[in-house]
Amino acid sequence: MLLRQIKYFQTVVEKGSFTEAAEACYISQSAISQQIQWAKSLLSEIRLQLTKEDIMKNLIIYYSRRGQNYVNGSIKSLAKGNAELITGFIQNAVDADVFEVDTVKPYDKDYMVCIEEAKAELRAKARPELKEMLSDISDYDNIFVVGPNWWGVYPMALYTQLEALDFTGKTVHYVVTHEGSGLGGVPKTMKSACKGAKIGASLAVHGGNAPSSKAQVESWARSAVK
């Protein structure tokens, strides 16, 4: 239907008057005027929506463990951690910038040792030092946080970064990769960790399913920023 209104508009431009255009299109002058006004209104709304999506800026803050990981009941070596895979899917879906959280002191390569280190950090409420810190997210509208479920929450290193930022006016969406514990206690930590944020959508992805979760994650991410 819109194509017809566009044709009317083109005829008005070509003829230079509504009267001649109406005669050429075999409709009344008032009818052609109404149809063009309807089309202009619709196109303005479409342009407004496109502009809103174009200026919306998204950022992903993630922590991911490469190498030894617990996957479907056994220890496996992963070239990319599950959270890193998820981050790639989100970036592809919403054209986001990416910031990787990386600790100055690396966790042990042995997974079983690593989780004990993580448990000790949790009990001590530690905030590990990071190689690099984001200090300003004022340019962004939506912040995605992605990380694994370690002992019920995100790795303490993620909280080092999140607690250092001002999220006022931002919407935070978050993803937790897990091996059966889902979101765990992460939802309870997000409001206090992301000061001033509106907490948006959340998603739990089973680690073993992460490589095949592209469609699910991309659909979720696009829906989150609408």
pLDDT digits (tens, 9 = 90+) for 142-189: 999 999 999 999 999 999 999 999 999 999 999 999 999 999 999 999
- Cα separations in angstroms, 160 against 169, 182, 202: 20, 22, 20
CATH fold group of domain 56-224: Rossmann fold (3.40.50)
Q: How far apart are alpha carbons 68 and 63 in whole angstroms?
A: 15
Which tokens hold the place of 10?
Answer: 């083109």
* The pLDDT of residue 30: 77
How high is the pLDDT of residue 147? 98
Taking CA atoms, 36 is separated from 9, 187, 202, in Å, by 6, 50, 43
Q: How far is CA 190 from the centre of its chain?
A: 16
Domain assignments of the chain as residue spans, ordered by start: 2-53, 56-224
- Please list, residue by residue across 151-174, b when 16 or more beta carbons sit within 10 angstroms of its beta carbon and e when fewer do: bebbbbbbbbbbeebebeebbbbb
- pTM to 2 decimals? 0.77
Q: Is there a contact between 167 and 138 (Cβ–Cβ < 8 Å)?
A: no
